[in-house]
Every structure is written in structure tokens, then in C-alpha cells.
Amino acid sequence: MIQHLSEALFPLLSLIALGAVLGRKTDFFDGKALSGLVTAVGIPALLLHSVLSMNMDIFGMGALVGITVVWLLVMVVVTGLLLALAGLPVRSYLPALVHPNTGNMGIPVCFALFGPQSLGLAVVISSVIQVSHFTLGIGCLSGRLSVRAMLRNGPVLALIAGALLLAADIRLPGPVMTTLDMLGSITIPVMLMLLGSSIASLKLSGARDMLRPLVFSFYRPLAGLALAWLLLLVWPLTDLEAQVFLIQCAMPVAVMSYVLAVRYQGPSQEIALTIPLSLVVSLGVAVAFALFW
């Protein structure tokens, strides 16, 4: 089991470390071109190929989307109440504490733990979280919703296309599926290296108070995991769906939350410090899954 765990996590940690080194030593990750390529091409292709390849009908995908939406709503209510009771600005901290890094962390972790059959499930959940970034995240930090940005979001459009094709029982030709597979194959390694580069480039010199980021780093993965587990008591999913859902809900603070906090003058330094700390906690959850599930 230890060997299996190390084999599963070694590629993830190696690519994150490689991204951190390259981010420090090169300009490979400068600008938005590479992340834009992944968002506009890689993730949509991976999502569409995974959804059309997995053994899931439109109702199964709808159940996974539904439980993710309900989980988000419960997280918003619980986190908002706790922030209010603590006397902290709810709108400033809510998006970072609610949204897990289901993209460039959650998808590779699910792939490592559960194999390629989990990719479609992980990407469906990640797409819902991405929609929430463009609605709840931007809405809280800026005071307005970005509906246009959401409608132009590639993964969201791919999810809709996949659902329509499944509903119509339409199978894409083999060459098209192969092309989607090749395009989607760039996603996981690039996402992991981008995550490493983002963490390595965070400026933490202004983060004087370690207590609050430390508390946040435990709250984000553990509260997400606990609420997901409670939901599964009343919302039945298959074993694989439940495992992927739990892991995705236990992921660390999303790098996107830091990006949005910088853009809209939120508590970016505290969020920046919380990202690597919560990453350690989330990896601990992944280790526990691999050893005891």
C-alpha cells in the first residue's frame, strides 16, 4: 500500500516541484498564454472526451452536478456564518474558503488515486466549481456577477455539449475522440506545473499573522470533506463517484481565489499563504484515502 501511494503521489509532487523550479528560473509560465491554452483547449477537450468515454448517462452526470451545487450552497451558508461570528469580512474570505482547487490539483489527485475512469467525474465537479468562481467568487469580491465570462468559459461549454450528446445518444467518430484525447493529455502535467509556479511566485512578505492562514488551511479541506460526507448520507452515489466527490471537496484553496483577490483588492497575502498550507492538509487527506479507504 505504501508503495502504491508513493507511486501515485510521486508524479504529482514531482511536476509541482518542476513547475516551481521552472517558474523561478525561466519565463515559461510568464503571462497568460499557457494557462489560457489549458483553460480554452486542454480542459474542455479533457472534459468532453472523459464525459463521452465514461459509463455515465445524463442522469448520472446530473446527480453529480446536483450534489456539487448543494455542497457549494451548504459551504457558503456554514462558512458565512462562521466568518460573521468571528467578526471577519464575509465577502473578502468566503470565496477562498468555499472553493477547492478541483482543477490543477483535484483532477490529477483523483487520477492518481482512482485511475483514468475517475477523470470524467473529477472534471464534471471541477466545471461546477469553475462556474462558481465566475459567479460567487467575482460577485463577492467585486460586488457584481460576470455572466458573460461564465458563458464564454470553455469547460462550461464542453460540459453542456457533453450532456447534450449523451442525452441524444450521439457517439463522436473515432478520429474525433482521438483528437480530443490528445488535446486533453496536455492538461494534467501543465496544470500541475502551473500550480507549482504559482505557489513559488507568491509574495508572502506581508503575511505577518500566521494564525489566521493556518486556521483557514485546515478549515478549507476538512470542512469541505466533512460536509461532503454528510451529504453522501442522504444523496446516494456509486462508490467511485462518492470517492471522487470526497477528494474534490477536500482539495486546498484554489489558486484562482488568490488571482481574484489580487484583482479585486481582497486579502491576497493571507490567501497566498493559505494555499501551500492547505495543500499539505489536502495531501494528508489523499494519503489517508490511499491507506485506509
In this structure, are residues 230 and 249 in contact, taking their beta carbons and an 8 Å threshold? Answer: no
Full-model pTM? 0.76
- Looking at residue 81, what is its pLDDT? 96
207 confidence band (pLDDT: 50, 70, 90): very low
C-alpha–C-alpha distance, residues 135 and 114, integer Å: 30
Cell reading at 170 = 450521439
Tell me what pLDDT residue 202 has.
Answer: 67
> What number of other Cβ atoms are within 10 A of residue 39's Cβ?
18
Q: What is the pLDDT of residues 217-244, one digit of tens each?
A: 999 999 999 999 999 999 988 899 999 9
Q: Model confidence over 61-99: pLDDT tens digits?
A: 788 889 999 999 999 999 999 999 999 999 889 999 999
Length of the chain: 293
What is residue 253's three-state secondary structure? strand
Q: Tell me how far apart the alpha carbons of residues 177 and 239 are, in angstroms, rounded to a whole number.
A: 27
pLDDT per position as a tens digit, 103-140: 878 888 888 888 888 888 888 898 888 778 777 877 78
- Cα 15 to Cα 23: distance, rounded to the nearest angstrom: 12
Burial category of 157 from C-beta neighbours within 10 Å (exposed 0-12, middle 13-18, buried 19 and up): middle
Residue 147 clears pLDDT 70, i.e. is over it: no
Question: Grid coordinates representing 12?
Answer: 504529482
Contact 28, 194 (CB under 8 A): no
pLDDT at position 24: 87
Half-sphere exposure of 59 (CA within 13 A, CB side): 2
Kindly give, in sequence order, each residue whose CB lies less than 8 Å from that of residue 88, ignoring residues fewer than 6 positions away: none
164: its cell numbers: 447534450
What domains can be seen in the chain, in order of their start residue? 2-292 (1.20.1530.20)
- Confidence class of residue 192 from pLDDT cuts 50, 70 and 90? confident
When the pLDDT of each residue in the chain is averaged and rounded to a whole number, the result is 83
Nearest Cα to Cα of residue 184 among 51, 38, 287: 38
Half-sphere exposure of 67 (CA within 13 A, CB side): 28
**Of residues 124 and 154, which shows the higher confidence score?**
124
Query: From start to end of 229-271, where are the E strands?
Result: none
